[in-house]
Structure formats: structure tokens, C-alpha cells
Chains A and B, each alone.
Chain A
Amino acid sequence: MARLIVWRLARTLVAVWALASLVFLLSYRDRNTATELALPDAADLRSRHNATNPAGQLATRQAIQHRLGLDRPLFYVSRLAASPPSGVQWHWNGRHNQYHRWAVQLLHGNMGTSFRTGQPVAARLREALAMTLPLTGTAALLAVLAALALAVRLAAAPWWQRPVRAALVAVHAMPLFVLALALLFVFANPEVLAWFPAYGLDQDTELSSGQWLATYLLHLVLPGATLALAALPELALQLEASLVQELHAGYVATARAKGLPENAIIRRHALRNALLPSLSQLAELLPALVAGALVVEVVFALPGMGRLLAEAAAARDYPVLVGGVLLVGVARLLALLLADLLYLWTDPRIRWQS
């Protein structure tokens, strides 16, 4: 088992490195857009009183590329621009290239600095994760617990099974921004119910720690509820369907024949088997925890991972983008590994086959 884990981990590391390298090479290839976006907006005439000299513009671009390290060749080899039509000619750049510098820095634990803010990428990711993880973590936990409770009850076919299923399907079909705005307009609207704040988390630097925590939790309610509600239907409906299928199995008939009550059959016998398909769903939650929830972050003005990565992509802030992809990639591949290991652990049949 240990050898298997080590082997899988090694494979995961190689896959993460390949993913990050690919994103690095594809994104940094477009260095001109990054340079243009670092210049003042051409449509802003207010600051253009003297920025008219083409030579000056060229020098500005070169200086920006030099500062951002984009003036080096991208990779160890590059194609010569003046290649003859008969064939492509390649040039060996040695170690003086952007990829080598990035890789060496990364191996030393340095993810680089943001093009936009000049801050270390690791610090920016840490700040965003500090915002995202409590939110997505709480939402995921709530969604899993609610899905378990709901699926177990739904599987017993109560009278409210159909309307609740219909409601779950309706919520599942609803776009996330509609769900977020609906909660916002109902629960943060002074013309309906002004129970919760409309945006942000904590901004008051003069609160005591107790007040700060209370304010923080109050701000977390609506975004957390949105994410939990969005994740709940898929988890609950899948688990309920799986439970219903298990309830037709032979061992359940035996349990019923022994006179066990239906609730006990579901909880003690069917649930463990029914949970197997849900393991991969649970594993999927891990990268989602790290990647953040862009829509909810935009609606509730939260500076989390989703917005960080989306804005880094829009602003061509490649160090942040590549750092974020690396982090989310690690989470996703670890989640897949975790799911595999959980299957091996919970189901002896899979263990035996492997």
C-alpha cells in the first residue's frame, strides 16, 4: 500500500509540474499583451500630454519587459525568426531563459512577484486563501452534512419526497449568480429583509476580537449559504439515488426479513455502500475549496482565489496566474489520489482487483 502511495504521489508531482510548465509556456508566450497592459490606457487622454514620441514608446516597452523579465528568451530553445522557407531553424538559448529562471525560483520555494502589484505571489495566494478557505470550507461542510441528512430521509420515501426533490432539481438548474443575487435581494435588502450585510467581510480595524468574529460570521452567512445551496442538490440527489438502488439489493431484503426498521436498514446497512459513488464527488470539492468561487466572490465583493485568478488572467499577471494554476492543480491531483485511496480503503473488492 505504501509503495502504491509513493508511486501515485510521484506521478502526481510529475503531472503537476507538466501542467504548470505548460501554463507557463503558453501564457508567457503572449508577452506583448502583458507589456501593453502595463502601459497607460490609450483611451485615457488625460495623461497623454507628452507621451507621443514613438522612440520613447518603444523605450518604455523595452524597459517594462526588462523589469518583468520578459526580455529573455522563453525557453531553452527558440525558433529563429529568419528561418529559411525550406525548414525551421532552432537556436539554443542556454540557461538564460524565462522558463529556467522560473523553474529554479520555484524549486527554491519562490513563486515570483506579481506583475501588477510587485508583491510576492505566495503572499497574494496566501491572502486570497485566507479569505477563500473559511468560506468554501464552511460551505462544503454544510453541504455535505445537509446532503447526508436529506438523502437519508428522502430515501425513506416520506410524503414530502417529491416536492423536495423538485426543489433540489430547481436549485441545481439555477445559475449560481441568480441564486446569489436572489439571496442578496431577499436577505440584505432594506426593502425586504435587512438581516445580513450586502458585501465584504471585515473592514473595521477598530473592533475588538469578539466583535470582529461576530461581524465576520455575519458577513459569511449569505455567501456561505449560496455556495452550500449550490452544492447541496448534486450531493443529495446522487446519494439518495444511490441509496434507493441499494435498498433493492438482496442484503436489504434479508435485513427487512429479519424485521429491522427501515431507518436502521438505511443507516446501518445501505448507507456505507451507497456512499461509494459520492466519494469522487467529495474529492471534487477539494480543488473547489482552493480555487474559490468567482461568482459568489464578485456578488459579495470578496477578494478570494476566484477573483484573484480571474483578474490575473484578465490583467495578464502571469506569475500570479501560474502560481494559482499550480496550487489548484496540486489540489485537484491530490484530490484524485485521495479518491483512489479512499476507494481502495472502503471497498475490499477494488483492493482485491488492484
Chain B
Amino acid sequence: MRLPNQAAIDANNLLHVSLLHTDITKAAFVPALAEALPAVQLVGDSLTRLTYSLRPAATWDDGQPVLAQDILFTLKLMFCPGLPNEAARNQYRFIRNILPDPANARRFVVECRGQAPEYVQASGDFFILPEHVLDPRGWLRRLSLAQLRNPPPGPAPDTALQAVAQRYRAETALGHLPGCGPYQLVKWEKDHYLSFRRKAHWWADLLRPAPLVLQARPRRLTYAVIPNAASATLALQRGELDLYPQMPAPEFARLQASPTARKKLTFHSTPSYDVVVAGFNTRHSTLADAPTRRALGQLFDAAGLLRATQLGSGQRTVGIISPSDSANYNDTLTPLPFSPEGGAALLRQAGWQQSNVPEPGWFRRGPNGARERLRLVLRYRAEEALFATIALQFQSVAAKLGIPVVLQPTEAGAFTMALHGGDFDMYVRTLRGNPFMFNFVPILHSLGVGEDNTTGFSTPGSDHLIEAIAAAGTKTRRAQLLRQFQALLQREMPLVPLFFLPNRVVVSRRLRGVYVGSIKPGYSVAAASPLASQPPN
């Protein structure tokens, strides 16, 4: 159940089915194992009840029906000690209980602490496992979800729990973890490839009409791990691959320019929800005030960087909400201009003065009265050429203004620790989002300071606004609040939103029925089939 990255999520979506899935063509969560989106009932001001019904056709491979007890079992398994599900436990802690309907084994209520529109998606976003296979004796039925969530302090967990955990681990190690998804794992070699075979009979084959998320036309799917973009591009050209997602801009442009490649391949570029940002360490006195941050923000040439690194595709933005999300994007704001002169003027307004004594640079009196100099350490992940280009552009413009910037390309693990420890003045990285989740508490609320709020930014006003967005009752209200939040972020500028990256997918012309969209993984092969053959009935 631990899904560390997008590739793991994609692979698991072939083997398992969740209550809800994202439909790439609609950019929305749609029912998968559930018959419909859940009915929402708000109880008081601190409880949400979501009523789900499972599809009657849904069965496991042995013909047993998928029941509400399986949902409850899966959630209990997340809290079972000895399994690598620590992050999932924290993530799904908001589910207080699951109440199966005594009159209908396929109907149940998910009871959630608090109230938030996101609970609809979040409550259905984990894949379901069969209780009768992993816990045939019903050991977990003896314990409530609350008992598992808050186990009594003791040296070792219950032996029954250990037995269930061991069975789960054994099935996972063998790659035989049973699922009600359309594919079976044929072979998996770590860092090499995964191969899946379509089940001859899958319950969703009987659905008429079958929604896209419950289609699975390819008879066989192989995912290859190719770390080098040049090799992967050649393999695509040679016909060894049918699809290349998230192709880097230079390879994409090179292939598009090749007449031979154009005959064999189709090229797709859609906006993604990944935004490149620069962050300030607002705990440092030099960067504690918004005017200084806004001044430095004007030294990023976002338009030029888009041309240089993404060859013109991608979208400039006013904030961390995608411009594609027209309902929530604040189009009354304008993207931050690239203006070194404007930046210098703002620095002066913030109290900075250029001086040659004791050395050339910008100086002002700090909060303790001491003279402080504006000099910056900018960190970014070492292996990313995109971040290096952004950092070099910023350094060069800052140098012209007389602001020294030390670049520190940092190894990924060390970068994570440096950001957590506040060991930076500025950083550049990508924030990955989607059009469903608008909870900014982890990255911009005072509760996240010391955790994932790496900038250390928080004000009572911003905290209040973030809480209001997370709890907004309607989409209209949430959109209003999100627009206010974008204006606040542009004013305070703990982050400089540079641009949203494009999602580039190249597909072989031999395939038809491949959908490309903005939501990860950026494509869907559910309805894909070779051009020459007929789709199965």
C-alpha cells in the first residue's frame, strides 16, 4: 500500500481498483469500484459522512464479490503494525470509521473527522484488497479501526496482527498480491521493467457502457525503466517503445523536427499541474520583509527561462494555482515582471542602500541595529538542468545589481535535509499539484513550520485564509478564497511562482485510443489498441 512515486501508482492502478479514479479526459475523479460519487452528509460542524455503494458486478479473481468489509479491512490493514504504511496511516487518519450497512453488504458509510470538500476524493483514493484472501480467519474483525489507530503501548503487537502482516508481506514479495484490477503482474525486475498481462475475464468487461477508467484494452503492457533520455528517444524511434511520457524539451523538439520521426510518431503537449517555484527563507532577517522578496522576485526572467528550457511551451503564472484551472486562477493579477531596475527600486524602498564600504554591495540596518549585507545562498537539486539554468539566470542578473549569489547544487537527499533544516536563503524546485487538492497547510501554514513549510512563512491572516480554503463548503466559496490567497501570496511572496511545466507525451502511430491530459501520469492507455487489430468485444 506504500506508493512512493507516480510509477508505483500507475502500476498499482493496473492491478487494483480504488473506489474512485481520476479520469484524464475529464480531469476529475469518477466512480471506479464505487457505483457513483459518494453522497455527502455534514453532521454538525465537525463530522462528514460519505455514503458509498460498490458496483454489483465487482468481483475478485476467484468470483467472490467485492464487499464493504473489504474496504474496512483495507483501511485496517493500513494501521496494522509491521507494514511499511506509516505515511498512509497519517494520510488517512482523517477517516474516523467505516460503517458497513447491515442491510446491504455493498453499501457503507465513511465517517470523516472535520469537513472539507476534498474528503470526497481523498476517501476514495486508495486501492482495495480482499479480506477473504489476506485475512481468511477474520483476525482484523476482532479489532476496531480506533483500536488499530491508537494501539495500547506494549512491546509487541498482537500475534494475529503479526500473522496478517506476514501474509501481506509474503504476497507482496512474491508479486501475487491479489487485486480486482484488469491486469496481473507477469514479471518485475527492479530498475529494469514491469510486465503485465490482461486477465482473460475481468468483472468490468461486462459493464455497458464501460467508463474509461474501467477499460483495459491492451493485452499486455510493459513499463521499461530507461534513465537516459537519449536512449529512450532512440528506442521510441526504433519502435522498441510505443509511448514516451514526460519527454524532455530538447528531445521532443529534435524529434518533431525530423520528418522520419513525424511519420512514425504523434506529439502531444498539454499543460501540467507542476509549477516551478523559487522559495525564500523568510526566517532570515534579510528576507523577512515582503518588499525585499518582491524585489528579488523581479530578477527572475520567467518568460526567457520558459523559452530557454521548455522551448516556448509551458505557462507563466501569477501563483501556484494553474492558469488551466480557470475557476480558481486569479486572472485579475499579472505575472511578476522581469525588471532588474524595478527590483533595485524596490530594494531601496525596503531600506537597502548600495555602498562600497566595507565592500561593494547592498546594506541596511538589521532588526538588532547591526548592519547587514544582502547576499544569498541559492540551493537546487544538482541533477536538474532546469534548476541550474534558473539559478544561473538569477545569479547573473543579481550580479549586475551588485548582489552576490552563491549557487549550491545539492544532492537530492541533502537538498531535502537542507530545506528542512533551513540551511539556505533561496531554493528552486517544482511543486506537483492537481486540480482537486487545495490544502496548503503543509507548505504555507504555521503548523507546517519546521516540517514542510520550508520558507517558514506564516501570518495570522494567511493561516486563517488557508484554513478557510481547506474547509470551504462550496466550490464557489473556495474559488473566492483561492483568488484571495493568490493575491496574498503575490503580495507577501514567500514563493516566486515562475511557470507551469508542460506535459510532453510522444506516442507511436501504431497505437490508437491513447488519451493525453494534464493529470498525472499525463496519458491513459486504457482504451489503446494496435492500429491493425480490432478492439475486443
Contact = CB atoms under 8 A, between A and B. Distances in A.
Contact of B122 (A49, A124, A199): A49
A30 to B, nearest CB: 8
B334 to A, nearest CB: 24
Contact of A314 (B118, B413, B520): B413
Nearest to A43: B431
Contacts of A191: 237, 258, 260
B437 A190 contact: no
B84 A118 contact: yes
A354 interface: no
Contacts of B172: 118
Given A40-B87, A51-B91, A46 B437 contact: yes
A32 B440 CA distance: 25
A73 interface: no
B191 interface: yes
Interface in B424-441: 429-434, 436-437, 439-441
Contact of A199 (B231, B412, B431, B451): B231
B416 A36 contact: yes
A260 to B, nearest CB: 51
Contacts of A54: 447, 450-451
Given A60-B89, A118-B169, A198-B238, A46 B191 contact: no
Given A60-B90, A67-B82, A298 B413 contact: no
A52 interface: yes
Please classify the interface of chain B as helix (H, G, I), strand (E, B), loop, or mixed, using the class held by over half of its residues: mixed
A224 to B, nearest CB: 16
Interface string A154-192: 000000000000000000000000000100110011110
Most buried by A among B225, B230, B454: B230
Contacts of A307: 191, 227
B45 interface: no
B400 interface: no
Contacts of B231: 184, 198-199, 299-301
B240 A42 contact: no
B261 to A, nearest CB: 9
Contacts of B447: 52-54
B348 interface: no
B443 A45 contact: yes
A152 B187 CA distance: 48
A178 to B, nearest CB: 12
Contacts of A181: 230
Nearest to A50: B94
Interface in A180-229: 181, 184-185, 188-191, 194, 197-201, 203, 205
B86 A190 contact: no
B327 interface: no
Interface string A57-93: 1011001100100000000000000000000000000
A126 interface: no
Nearest to B85: A63
A192 B520 CA distance: 35
A49 B186 CA distance: 34
B84 A67 contact: yes
B413 A199 contact: no
A49 B437 contact: yes
A165 B234 CA distance: 32
Given A56-B93, A311-B191, A48 B237 contact: no
A303 B224 CA distance: 11
A49 B445 contact: no
A44 B432 contact: yes
Nearest to A203: B193
A235 to B, nearest CB: 27
Nearest to A64: B86
Contacts of A315: 413
Contacts of A184: 230-231, 234
Contacts of B234: 184-185, 188-190, 198-199
B420 A36 contact: yes
A273 interface: no
B230 A205 contact: no
A332 interface: no
B192 A190 contact: no
Contact of A43 (B228, B413, B432): B432
Given A53-B93, A199-B226, A48 B82 contact: no
Interface residues of A, number: 61
A347 interface: no
A2 to B, nearest CB: 43
Interface in B180-234: 186-187, 189-193, 195, 222, 224-228, 230-232, 234
B242 interface: no
B442 A51 contact: yes
B452 interface: yes
A127 interface: yes
Contact of B190 (A59, A117, A299): A117
Contact of A190 (B4, B118, B238, B436): B238
Contact of B230 (A36, A48, A185): A185
Nearest to B112: A50
A37 interface: yes
B205 to A, nearest CB: 23
A33 interface: yes
A119 interface: yes
B430 A43 contact: yes
A46 to B, nearest CB: 5
Nearest to A181: B230
Interface in A284-314: 298-303, 307-308, 311, 314
B92 interface: yes
B245 interface: no
Nearest to A62: B86
A46 B433 contact: yes
Contacts of A59: 90
A205 B195 contact: yes
Contacts of B258: 191
Contacts of B432: 41, 43-46
B462 to A, nearest CB: 15
B90 A56 contact: yes
B235 interface: yes
Contact of B417 (A36, A118, A301): A36
A47 interface: yes
A59 B232 CA distance: 41
Contacts of B103: none
B448 interface: yes
Contact of B192 (A36, A67, A303): A303
Interface of B: 4, 82, 84, 86-87, 89-94, 116, 118, 121-122, 169, 172-173, 186-187, 189-193, 195, 222, 224-228, 230-232, 234-235, 237-238, 240, 258, 260, 411-414, 416-417, 419-420, 429-434, 436-437, 439-443, 445, 447-448, 450-452, 454, 520
21 contacts: A42-B442, A42-B452, A45-B437, A46-B432, A48-B452, A49-B94, A49-B118, A49-B122, A49-B439, A52-B442, A52-B445, A56-B93, A198-B234, A200-B192, A203-B193, A299-B230, A299-B231, A301-B231, A314-B412, A315-B413, A316-B413
Given A50-B93, A51-B442, A190-B234, 15 more contacts: A40-B87, A44-B432, A45-B431, A47-B91, A48-B442, A52-B439, A54-B447, A116-B4, A127-B190, A190-B260, A191-B260, A198-B238, A199-B235, A299-B228, A303-B189
